Amino acid sequence: MIRAASVALISLLALAACGPGEMAEHDQRQSFPITAEVKQAVAVFDRAEGNGPVSVFDRERLRRLAGESLKRGAGPVVIALAPKPDEASARAFAQSLADELKAAGVAEVQVKLAEDGDGAASVRVPVWVAVVPECGTFDRGLTPDFSNAPHSNWGCAVERNRGLMVQNPADLVRAREATGRDANRAGDVLGKYGRGEATGSAVEEQSAGTTSKVGNSAK
């Protein structure tokens, strides 16, 4: 009787040790979540002497900023500068920068005058930046234990690389707006469906071709 009770107790302890663990230990998406936050890409532009046009070098910098705004922008581009030596020339300089940005595809550019400054203009582009986990920690070791959980660094590199490779980090936190459909194609498909015809496009015939025999010629 005592032996049977001991066996039952040991069995209960063994079952308790096999209880479910934390799901985050087995799912890298929970262990190493990736998110996105908004930061500022900032560049400073000095005014040309004599209120001259924007230099070729500065135009290239503006095009790069415009590219970042188009790819992962999080709001309007802001140009800020102090009204020195006078407000009219400051606004003209800011407008020349805004024109370059709009020519590169930026939809919305705001110009703001600051109270302090040396007359240089700062162009601020709000962009989405992925927040990825830091890998290489092994708080939970490589040796298997009763929980049968992987080590604490398992799956970290996969999530980190996914966050670094995404084109627009904003996709990690919100869905994009749905694109419109092709009305002409939709009407064609519905018309075929109503007539009981196949809605798919016709299969194109492949033109006959020749196979190269380079390296396989008979001797």
pTM for the model = 0.64
Per-residue pLDDT tens over the stretch 31-50: 889 999 999 999 999 887 76
The 8-class DSSP code of residue 15 comes to: H
C-beta separation of 74 from 110 below 8 A: no
Q: What does the pLDDT read at residue 68?
A: 94
Q: Calculate what percentage of the chain has a pLDDT beyond 70.
A: 79
pLDDT band at 97 (very low <50, low <70, confident <90, very high): very high
Neighbours of 28 (CB within 10 A): 20
The 8-class DSSP code of residue 150 comes to: P
- Tracing tokens 């001991």 back to the chain, one arrives at 6
Strand partners for 41:
125
Q: How many CA atoms lie within 13 A of 68 on its CB side?
A: 20
**Whole-number mean pLDDT of the chain?**
81
- 3-state DSSP: the chain helix, strand, coil percent, rounded to 5? 40, 15, 45
- What does the alpha-carbon distance between residue 132 and residue 36 come to, in Å, rounded to a whole number? 8
Q: Where are the beta strands (DSSP E) in 69-216?
A: 77-81, 109-113, 121-131
C-beta separation of 138 from 153 below 8 A: yes
- Shortest CA distance to 130 belongs to which of 95, 171, 175, 99? 171
C-beta separation of 109 from 76 below 8 A: yes
Does pLDDT of 146 surpass 90? no
The residue type found at 114 is A
- Look at residue 35 and give its three-state secondary structure: strand
36-131 — its CATH code? Answer: 3.30.1330.60
- What does the alpha-carbon distance between residue 89 and residue 84 come to, in Å, rounded to a whole number? 8
- Tracing tokens 């700062």 back to the chain, one arrives at 122
Q: Which of 101-105, 117-121, 207-211 has the lowest mean pLDDT?
A: 207-211
Domain ranges of the chain: 36-131
- Tracing tokens 């904003």 back to the chain, one arrives at 170
Strands 109-113 and 77-81: parallel
C-beta separation of 26 from 154 below 8 A: no
